[in-house]
Structure 1
């Protein structure tokens, strides 16, 4: 599994748009344009395809932590998000 695959799966799972990803990267002072982000989601045989390097994925994951939790100095939300699971039926 490549970094591009990981980024694609996180994008779908968290329902993020390219604008959201750009903003998340800005939280860790890592600037990229929407067109650069879009190149990660293209097919490998596309001429504008770009390989997502470790540095980009690492900064995205660090930004994602800040996006959802806030920083240690200034928490984004004082109450943790509740995850409600559906009861299992037999």
Structure 2
């Protein structure tokens, strides 16, 4: 299974449009145009087909985590929150 196949299957399973995928990639500061993205979803024998690299899939998955769960809180903020809960006064 190629990276293109994985990207296609995730797009269908999560009901994502090209705009959504561009926004998800923007969450991890990875810019891509809709036309570049469309090249990943073409058939392999199409002249404008482009292979999805590991970096693009990795950034998409990292952005998807942020999109679904929200941004990860800072460790400093977590520590301060825990200290506030532990203080009896």
TM range (shorter): 0.7 to 0.9
> What SS does the corresponding residue of 2:61 show, helix, strand or coil?
helix
- Tell me how far 1:24 sits from its aligned partner: 0.1
* TM-score between both structures, scaled by the size of structure 2: 0.81
CA RMSD of aligned residues (A): 1.0
* TM-score between both structures, scaled by the size of structure 1: 0.80
Consecutive unaligned residues of structure 2, counting only runs of 5 or more, are: 75-89
- Which of the pair has the greater relative contact order for Cα pairs under 8 Å at 6+ separation? 2
- Displacement over 4 Å in runs of 4+: none
Aligned equivalents of 2:30, 2:59: Cα separation in 1: 7
Matched, 1:2 2:2: yes
- Tell me how far 1:15 sits from its aligned partner: 0.2
Structure with higher Rg: it is 2
Consecutive unaligned residues of structure 1, counting only runs of 5 or more, are: 75-90
Aligned equivalents of 2:52, 2:14: Cα separation in 1: 18
Aligned equivalents of 2:72, 2:34: Cα separation in 1: 28
More helix by share: 2
Matched, 1:41 2:64: no
Q: Which residue number in structure 1 is paired with residue 16 of structure 2?
A: 16
How is 1:1-90 mapped onto 2 (pairs within 5 angstroms)?
Answer: 1-73=1-73
